[in-house]
Amino acid sequence: MQTLKAEKVFKAGEVIMTQGDAGLCAYFIQEGRVGIVVEKSDGKLLHMGTRGPGSIIGEMAIVDNQPRSATIKSLENCTLLEITKDDFARSVRGADPIVRLIAQVILMRYRDILRRSQTLLADSADSPSAEELEREYAEQINVVEAIKMANEFKVAIACQQLILNYQPILSMETGRILGFEALMRWQHPERGLIPPDMFIPMAEDSGLIVDASRWAIREVCQMLNRLDKARPDMQDLYVSVNLSATDFDDESFLDNLYDTLEETGIPAHRIHIEITERLLLKQPKNVKETLDSCRARGMGIVIDDFGTGYSSLSYLHQYPIDTLKIDQSFIRKMREDAIVFGLVKSILSLSQNMNIRIIAEGVEEFEESALLNELECEMAQGYFYSRPVDEMQVLDLLLKHNGSCPA
Ligand code: G
Ligand code: G
Ligand code: MN
């Protein structure tokens, strides 16, 4: 290895590096054991442990140029291989800037943990800090996990590992399917089917959701074209696509959406956009202009998870919203909890007064569906009618709920 330099020998008891000094190199231990000691600000010495052959010591200083955080002495005669800062810097310069940044960030956090755990160690005999240290380590590993996952997700988008499932939205009056909600899943080559809760937040944080949403919109349009071939009598069906705040930050979102509609020949009214109340609260820039434009073209705009704590009625007239989805937690509780029942009733009358359409989400039981019917709720979605299904099963659902295609 290029970065491994000549051997250095330290006799038992010799100081290899001193806390506070500038760190010019790291060492790979070939033979012998060393002891690590940290001197605290009050002068107390903390023995941090020992290292033996195969370990690296002094590695932090060559990454972040900070002074040595510990003093290390040889406990027996040691043979060490020196890795100089210059050698290390040379190989790092060629590395991906993200890798460099991440290395710095992780090291910064690690130093921070060390600093705090050393204070705790000194303050308590049974050292609860070890547990804290492990927990924080685990969190660090999640950082790495998230980065790995983000990279895998890029591959997923490019290599068709994403799939859409479709859950029907039915008219309560007629029992017919009016449309479907597209729900994303990730068919991971090793981990199997990953549900959206496990990857959407990461995709939002990393900005990768923009590409995933573009893919989803295109896939939905193509699916509608395939469906139209099989069921030419069902060309009123729409598909609702979930979008995130990050999607609205993308300046070419609208162009891409309209291009996709044009290329696939799908009329705008067959695509509905589902956004959450939280998104409106965040108010990504251009969200109103974007939604106004979509609505003007005839797309449906749906507020998902309506009523889950961030509700502000003002946005019902501020934004071009045409449908509310009552959150499933209300549907679940409305039969036992009088307050929730009142809430569901008020949402329903609100929507009637404001001429906004309503979908009850997460209907699981016959009793829930019967009650919603009584309250004249317009549409429903939930396991009681159907779980989300893959594209092949969409035709079966249409046959079951909407009847067969007239000859
Ligand atoms: O699919 P499930 O059935 O587990 O969906 C869980 C949540 O994941 C949904 O409530 C929705 O908010 C989110 N979700 C599902 N599919 C998509 C998608 O294509 N894009 C975005 N942004 N969120 C989605
Ligand atoms: O986008 P949104 O958060 O609204 O997605 C709806 C979520 O709820 C999806 O994860 C979907 O699979 C799930 N879901 C749909 N119907 C039901 C239901 O009847 N019961 C439960 N528990 N979940 C449902
Ligand atoms: Mn949704």
| Among protein residues, the one whose CA lies closest to atom 21 of ligand 1 | 242
Distance of CA 24 to the CA centre of its chain: 40
Pocket test for ligand 2, best of 166, 275, 359, 361 (most atoms within 8 A of CB): 361
Pocket test for ligand 2, best of 183, 272, 324 (most atoms within 8 A of CB): 183
- Render 128-186 in DSSP notation, one character per residue: THHHHHHHHHHHHHHHHHHHHHHHHHHHHHHTT-EEEEEEEEEETTT--EEEEEEEEEE
CA separation for the pair 175, 346 (Å, rounded): 24
* Vertex 251: Cα angle to 248 and 256 (nearest 5): 90
Give me the residue label for tokens 């349009």: 221
Model pLDDT, residue 4: 38
Closest CA to 26 of 16, 35, 15, 37: 16
CA separation for the pair 235, 224 (Å, rounded): 8
| Among protein residues, the one whose CA lies closest to atom 17 of ligand 2 | 362
Ligand nearest to the CA of 273: 3
Between the CA of 338 and the centroid of ligand 2 the distance, in Å, is 23
> For domain 161-402, is the CATH number 3.40.1580.10?
no
80 lines ligand 1 (CB under 6 A): no
- Of ligand 1's atoms, which has the minimum distance to the CA of residue 195? 4
CA separation for the pair 373, 367 (Å, rounded): 10
- Render 182-217 in DSSP notation, one character per residue: EEEEEEETTTEEE-HHHHHHHHHHHSTHHHHHHHHH
**The two structure tokens encoding residue 43:** 């002068």
Average pLDDT of every residue of the chain: 87
- Render 286-326 in DSSP notation, one character per residue: THHHHHHHHHHTT-EEEEEEETSS---THHHHHS---EEEE
Domains of the chain: which residue ranges? 1-93, 95-159, 161-402
Ligand nearest to the CA of 308: 2
Report, as ranges of residue numbers, the positions in the chain whose pLDDT lies below 50.
1-5, 123-131, 134-135, 137-138, 143
> For domain 1-93, is the CATH number 2.60.120.700?
no
- Of ligand 1's atoms, which has the minimum distance to the CA of residue 184? 16
Ligand nearest to the CA of 165: 1
CA separation for the pair 140, 147 (Å, rounded): 11
Closest CA to 321 of 311, 330, 331: 311
| Among protein residues, the one whose CA lies closest to atom 12 of ligand 2 | 388
Alpha carbon separation from 238 to 167, 185, 228, 234, 289 (Å, rounded): 12, 20, 11, 10, 23
243 lines ligand 1 (CB under 6 A): yes
Give me the residue label for tokens 């499933």: 328
CA separation for the pair 281, 287 (Å, rounded): 11
Model pLDDT, residue 128: 39
| Among protein residues, the one whose CA lies closest to atom 15 of ligand 1 | 183
Look up residue 252 and give its DSSP letter.
Answer: T
Residues present in the chain in total? 407
Is the pTM of the predicted complex or chain greater than 0.95?
Answer: no
Q: Measuring from each residue's beta carbon to the nearest atom of ligand 2, which residues come in under 6 Å?
A: 167, 183, 242, 304-305, 328, 361-364, 382-383, 388
Ligand nearest to the CA of 162: 1
Between the CA of 38 and the centroid of ligand 2 the distance, in Å, is 53
Ligand nearest to the CA of 368: 2
| Among protein residues, the one whose CA lies closest to atom 22 of ligand 2 | 362
| Among protein residues, the one whose CA lies closest to atom 5 of ligand 2 | 183
Model pLDDT, residue 139: 57
Pocket test for ligand 2, best of 163, 164, 166, 167 (most atoms within 8 A of CB): 167
CA separation for the pair 90, 256 (Å, rounded): 42
Whether residue 240 contacts residue 291, with contact meaning beta carbons closer than 8 Å, is answered with no
CA separation for the pair 52, 35 (Å, rounded): 9
**The two structure tokens encoding residue 9:** 């020998």
Give me the residue label for tokens 């290029």: 2
